[in-house]
């Protein structure tokens, strides 16, 4: 039972995410990670073991930005390694994803995505979802005057192809 935390606002995302992940430690985990949006890319930092180890890495190599996601994971596919820790990239790095649960049909989806040229860097089922959203975006048209709707439609189209679990309870806090 791992944890997900997200932040968008005007403050430093990294400290919010680390604090949020510490609060989720009671749920148990074997690795953790954060992705923070920099100007034209996502900075992803992942670590095996305690949140302190992730926080230590971020002290050495800070990731600055006001939008980010964080994750504590119990690896269900492959060993607990940095490569299997979340977040995972999708496409050419335009997508970053964290996921709680298990994608039952990931092997079929993975084979199809590999045939289309997607390259995988982990043993996880979750990485499939990141690439699937990237692929779905290619086939999802813009919606006039609503740029965010294209992304939402692409995510929904990708999710429709998934079998398994990918939900968690939700908490929102305002700063």
Residues near ligand GLU (CB under 6 A) are 2, 73-77, 84, 99-102, 124-126
Could you tell me the smallest distance in angstroms from the CB atom of residue 97 to ligand GLU? Answer: 10
What count of other Cβ atoms lies within 10 Å of the Cβ of residue 9? 11
What is the DSSP secondary structure assignment for residue 63, as one 8-state letter? -
What count of other Cβ atoms lies within 10 Å of the Cβ of residue 15? 12
133 and 158 Cβ atoms separated by less than 8 Å? yes
Of the pair 42, 106, the CB lying nearest ligand GLU is at 106
Beta bridge pairs of residue 73:
31
Could you tell me the smallest distance in angstroms from the CB atom of residue 45 to ligand GLU? Answer: 16
Residue nearest ligand GLU, Cβ-based: 2
Of the pair 21, 140, the CB lying nearest ligand GLU is at 21
Of the pair 91, 101, the CB lying nearest ligand GLU is at 101
Could you tell me the smallest distance in angstroms from the CB atom of residue 127 to ligand GLU? Answer: 8
CA distance 87 to 157: 21
């Amino acid at each position: 039972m791992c944890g997900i935390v997200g932040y968008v606002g005007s403050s430093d995302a990294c400290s919010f995410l680390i604090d949020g992940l510490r609060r989720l430690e009671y749920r148990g985990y074997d690795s953790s990670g954060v992705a923070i949006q920099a100007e034209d890319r996502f900075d992803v930092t992942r670590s095996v073991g305690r949140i302190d180890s992730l926080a230590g890495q971020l002290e050495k190599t800070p990731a600055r930005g006001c939008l980010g996601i964080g994750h504590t994971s119990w690896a269900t596919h492959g060993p607990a390694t940095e490569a299997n820790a979340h977040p995972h990239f999708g496409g050419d790095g335009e997508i970053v994803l964290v996921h709680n649960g298990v994608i039952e049909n990931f092997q079929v989806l993975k084979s199809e995505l590999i045939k289309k040229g997607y390259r995988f860097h982990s043993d996880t089922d979750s990485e499939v979802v990141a690439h699937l959203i990237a692929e779905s975006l290619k086939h999802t048209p813009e919606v006039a005057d609503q740029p965010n709707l294209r992304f939402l439609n692409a995510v929904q189209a990708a999710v429709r192809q998934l079998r398994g679990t990918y939900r968690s309870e939700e908490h929102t806090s305002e700063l």
